[in-house]
Structure 1
Amino acid sequence: MNVNTEETLLITPVDNYDAIINDIKDDNITSVSELKHLTISTLPLVLSFLLQYVFSITSVYAAGRLGAKELAACSLAICTFNITGLAIFQGMATSLDTFCSQAYGSGNKKMVGVYFQRGSLLMFVVSIPLFFLWWFSGAILNLMVPDEELATMAQTFLRIHIIGVPGLIFFESGKRFLQAQHIFQASTYTLIIALPINLVLNWLLVWNPSTGMGYEGIPLAIGISYWIISILMLGYVLFIDGIECWGGIEWEKATSNWKPMLSLGIPGVVMVISDFLAFEILTIFASRFGTEALAAQSIVSNIATLCFQVPFAFAVAISTRIGHFIGNGNISGAKVINDLTVVIGGTIGVLSFCLMYFGRHVLTEFFTDDQEVLSIASHLLFLAGINQISDCLNVVGTGVLRGQGRQRIGSILNIISYYFLAIPLGYFLAFHAGFEMSGLWIGLIIGVMCLAVTQCTSICFSNWEKIVEHSHRIHDSV
């Protein structure tokens, strides 16, 4: 049995379990058939990721309507939570991408439910010290933000936000539970229903003359929304699809043998945080070149984040598919997906570059009409487009590593590429070589390019027999 997946993908119900198993046992798998499979699986994922991204946008919009101070505090709090909370939970959930998909591929459906319980419980235990961090975050934020009132407001946001964290944890682990079963549309349906509810909550808790709480209503709306998507996901499993992999509460198994999951979860956290922090550091550096440069960097980062959803969706589909093949012991099928990775990543990267280069003026004008900001942003978007070519290869490549259960390799390569190459080189080019904002992005481009080369090399020379053997050994021990 093998362990690794990534997120959610296809639209195949659990009722077709036998068909899915027969499919991954097929020795006549071709690149064309697998590309079609991955593409169909990716479509609901892209929509799901975009909808989840909108939740943050609505919160920032709500804060912006209240005033500049509220907007700044909300942005600071969300950024803090993304680094210290969301990135950690999503990183730890990569272990479920591996374990759940491999368990499903091996035919041990009930273990998918056990891994879901174990992963959820593990993330909840990790969240306990984070609760204290968020509760007393004001003192820490005040060391980085000179405005004491701003730090205090961000702390208030994070304190209220805590009530929704368990719901977020169950949603993240629930996605993996269903994605491993080829049920990729569940999170999409859930978010489609929850998004208008979230908008109504923002109106009721923030702006409504009778029930509105102002600034404090924003994190409360987010917290309630997290619980809503978690409950909707549970409802999907109970009344629509996914219950077949639930064998009931297994408390003894869920509370034991955490080491294998931690061995994948911790490197997964490093992978997620490394990428996220690198862009935050770029934003901090950009602030030293003035307000216009910072605004331009924010515009480019938002566009890059939106473009990121497509390769990330493919990565989820890839990790799930590879996990199934590994769990089933079908090495030839896994190799087909492995070979497709470079083609998929390269194609998406080139298309992203074309979008950013040829559409750079239209895209930037959507955010602002300030001519100086537009000039800087258009140039940076060209550099960001170049970066997309390598970055898309990296993103889909991590899908392979997660499917294989080799998050540790990805974490090491990410740390070296970002923090020993991209950021130091970018800092030198920007502040000592006179390239300013362009230098920051050139450093990132070189670092990400090296990451792409080393990660693709690692994937191409995978020892599949050893990976399958290791996977079965781990699953046999649980």
Structure 2
Amino acid sequence: MTSKDRAESEETSSGYGSISRDVDAVVRTDFDGHTSVDVTTTTSGAEFKEIGRNAAPLMITFLLQMSLSFMTVVSVGRLNALDLGGVSLANVTFTATSAIFQGLATCLDTLCPQAYGSKRYQLVGLYFQRCVAISTLFAVPIALLWWFSAHALRLVVDDPRLVVIAARYLRVMVSSIPGYIIFECGKKYLQAQNDFTTGQYILFVCAPLNAFFNYLLVFRLGMGYIGAPIATSVTFMLMGISIVAYIWYQKGRNGDMDCWNPMCNWRPIFSNWEPMISLAVPGIVMIEAEFLAFESLTILSAKFGTEALAAQSVVASIQTLTFQVPFSTGVAASNRIAYHIGKKRINDCRIATKTTIIQIGVILAIANFLFLVLGRKQVSTFFSKDEGVVALAVQILPIIGVNQFADVFNVLAAGVLRAQGRQRIGGILNILAYYVVGLPVAVTLGFYTDLGVKGFWIGLGCGIFVLSIGEVYCVWNSNWSQIIHDSHLLHKSTQGGNL
């Protein structure tokens, strides 16, 4: 490698905060003539700072986005118990099925940063456009499911009044799908370019607007519970429009680094979908497997009475909030490592991965554990004033603290797997961990011992520990040269072979 080539390979104009060094490099050439470089342009400290800096706005973004559905429960909860029950049922259905769009968008965690790192800038925009098109195709059965949800809900809910409320809610939410898809894909498109704040700024405006719309429609205009899904749908529409407006404003401003694929060149958008779907489907499995496992516990908790169900809802809400910290960090790490893969820098990949798993992982695991154990009484009281509910939640939270200690490493390792394009491994491990180990042990401990709801969380924790060990093992023994080679072939195939 000449000094000129080395300088070009180590340039920092991408804005990713790489540290440029004049170092010798070992160039590996595989059987296909593809090269990867054993060159180090970063340090553990630089990776720690970069990933942490990008994770902070992501945490705020995810929390604000969560607040949209939370606000509907808060507003409708002031009406009556029947409306609240119906809306809660609709929210669970909405979250479970709309998570498919989040899973589809995870393929962009792999493709867009890798393409950006390898300077295939126009591919970043093409991947975004393809993912929107694929998600729109998947949206058709989801929209039909929501529109005719009453038929499915009657099979699991006895009260027909709850079914009517939930079904009407979901019909309105069909109109939220375009904005939801575009915002999810748009976030990934911008994150690949090291823009982790635009989504946050959009939600800084839209989240308060959502609260205002809920108040206006539900109470001031007297629309009742149906005003809540209208408010949420309008908010998602505004989010989608806002991110498209920003992308359009950004288009063409970066010169040679412009990532937009011209819409006049529309044929590639609707071709070569197979590589993206091969990444997206395991991404859906990873998200849905975990979500459905946790939701199953809430449904099963009803067998132990109202107090147990309420306590389960409290600790599940707390667990969801604390989960956002490692999840946001995992997304930031995924983008960073995928960028290094695009640059074909093996040592940088290794450094970023070890920094994520060892340094960041240990800090977050300890922080989450201490928060859930030491602050269990205070945080439980914030969610409920019922002494019986709080007492049971206080007993469960230390178990969740132990689970979260392991889950941090699982979430971060999953981010690395997405960066590598190995979502299939994560999907298989999720199914095995939750449905072969976690849920069977949880049901056994919950129903056949005196542990009750606590047994559910202990059993699920067993699955989480198995998942963490499996994913960390796979990440730790990564063949980075092969991963970089596979990445090259993947981008080549998505272009139809035209490099």
Which TM-score bucket, shorter chain as reference?
Answer: over 0.9
- Out of 183, 192, 197, the position equivalent to 1:185 is 197
Maintained 8 Å contact 2:16/2:50: no
TM, length-normalised to structure 1: 0.94
Paired AA for residue 107 in structure 1: K
Instruction: Write the distance in 1 (CA, Å) between the matches of 2:13 and 2:347.
Output: 20
Of the candidates 101, 117, 120, which is equivalent to residue 108 of structure 1? 120
Instruction: Tell me the CA shift for residue 176 of structure 1.
Output: 0.5
Is structure 2 residue 30 aligned with structure 1 residue 20?
A: no
Are the counterparts in 1 of residues 19 and 46 from structure 2 also a CA contact under 8 Å? no
5 Å-filtered alignment, 1:116-127, equals 116-127=128-139
1:162 is aligned with what amino acid?
A: V
Please provide the CA RMSD for this pair: 1.6
Q: Is the 8 A contact 2:203 2:239 kept in 1?
A: yes
SS of aligned partner of 2:158: coil
Q: Which residue in 2 is equivalent to 1:252?
A: 267
Counterparts of 1:85-234 in structure 2, within 5 Å, are: 85=98, 87-208=99-220, 211-234=221-244
Instruction: Name the SS for the 2:13 alignment partner.
Output: helix
1:415-455 alpha-carbon deviations (Å, 9 max, x no partner): 00000001001111111133211211111111111111111
Q: Per the alignment, do residues 226 and 467 of structure 1 end up closer, same or farther by CA in structure 2, a change over 3 Å counting?
A: same
Change in Cα spacing, 1:308 to 1:21, as seen in structure 2 (3 Å) is: closer
1:401 aligns with 2:396: no
Check if 1:78 corresponds to 2:73. no
What runs of 5+ residues in structure 2 fail to find an aligned partner?
Answer: 1-10, 22-39
Match of 1:47 in 2: 60
Cα pair 1:50 1:306 within 8 Å, conserved: yes
1:408 to 1:264, Cα distance in 2 relative to 1, 3 A: same
Name the CA distance, whole Å, in 2 between partners of 1:69 and 1:473: 55
Change (3 A) 1:241 1:347: farther
Residues of 2 paired with 1:427 and 1:268: CA distance? Answer: 26
Matching residue of 1:10: none
Q: What CA deviation, in whole Å up to 9, does each residue of 1:383-437 have, x standing for no partner? A: 1101000011111111100100000000000000000001001111111133211
How is 1:62-461 mapped onto 2 (pairs within 5 angstroms)? 62-85=75-98, 87-208=99-220, 211-239=221-249, 244-249=258-263, 250-343=265-358, 344-461=360-477
Shift in alpha-carbon separation, 1:25–1:424, aligned structure 2, 3 A: farther
**Contact 2:176–2:234 (Cα < 8 Å) also in 1:** yes
Assess, with a 3 A threshold, how the Cα gap between structure 1 residues 397 and 283 changes in structure 2: closer, same or farther: same
Q: Is the 8 A contact 1:24 1:333 kept in 2?
A: no
Q: For residues 266 and 19 of structure 2, what CA distance do their matches in structure 1 show?
A: 31
Shift in alpha-carbon separation, 1:21–1:191, aligned structure 2, 3 A? closer
Contact 2:12 2:19 in 1 (8 A): no
1:241 shift after superposition: 7.6
Structure 1 equivalent of residue 8 of structure 2: none
- Compare 160-169 and 230-239 and name the one that shifted more: 230-239
Partner residue of 1:33 out of 46, 71, 79: 46
Following superposition, the deviation at residue 248 of structure 1 comes to 1.6
Partner of 2:71: 58
Cα pair 1:24 1:330 within 8 Å, conserved: no
TM-aligned CA distance change 1:221 to 1:37, over 3 Å: same
Q: Distance in 2 between matches of 1:274 and 1:345?
A: 22
In structure 2, the partner of 1:5 is: none
8 Å CA contact 1:116, 1:173 repeated in 2: yes
SS of 1:182 mapped into structure 2: coil
Give the deviation of 1:236 after TM superposition: 2.2
Counterpart AA for 1:420: V
Q: Is the 8 A contact 2:18 2:46 kept in 1?
A: no
Query: Percent identity, aligned pairs only?
Result: 42
> Is the Cα contact below 8 Å between 2:16 and 2:194 reproduced in 1?
no
Query: In 2 relative to 1, CA 28–426 (structure 1 residues): closer, same or farther, beyond 3 Å?
Result: same
SS at match of 1:224: helix
CA spacing shift, 1:428–1:464, aligned 2, 3 Å: same
- One-letter identity of the residue aligned with 2:47: E
The amino acid across from 2:415 in the alignment is G
SS of the residue corresponding to residue 303 of structure 2 reads: helix
Please report the TM-score for the alignment, with normalisation by the length of structure 2.
Answer: 0.90
Task: Tell me if structure 1 keeps the 8 A contact 2:12–2:18.
Answer: no
- Evaluate the alpha carbon distance shift between residue 174 and residue 259 of structure 1 in structure 2; reply closer, same or farther with a 3 A threshold: same
Higher relative contact order by CA 8 Å / sep ≥ 6: 1 or 2? 1
Q: Is the 8 A contact 1:203 1:212 kept in 2?
A: no
Tell me the secondary structure at the aligned position of residue 195 of structure 2.
coil
Counterpart amino acid of 2:109? D
Q: Is the 8 A contact 1:341 1:393 kept in 2?
A: no
Greater share of helix residues, 1 or 2? 1
Q: Do the aligned partners of 1:352 and 1:385 also contact (CA within 8 Å) in 2?
A: yes
**Cα distance, 1:312 vs structure 2:** 0.8
Deviations 1:162-210 (CA, angstroms, capped at 9, x unpaired): 01111100000000010000000000000001112112211222111xx
Structure 1 residues 402 and 25 mapped into 2: Cα distance closer, same or farther (>3 Å)? farther
CA distance in 2, matches of 1:46, 1:242: 29
Post-superposition CA distance 1:359-396 (Å, at most 9, x none): 11111111222221111100101111010000111111
- Check conservation: 1:181, 1:242, Cα contact below 8 A: no
Could you say which structure has the larger radius of gyration?
2
Aligned partner of 2:34 in structure 1 is: none
Q: CA deviation at 1:22?
A: 8.4
Distance 2:12 2:165 in 1: 50
Q: Which residue of 1 aligns with 2:24?
A: none
Give the match for residue 4 of structure 1: none
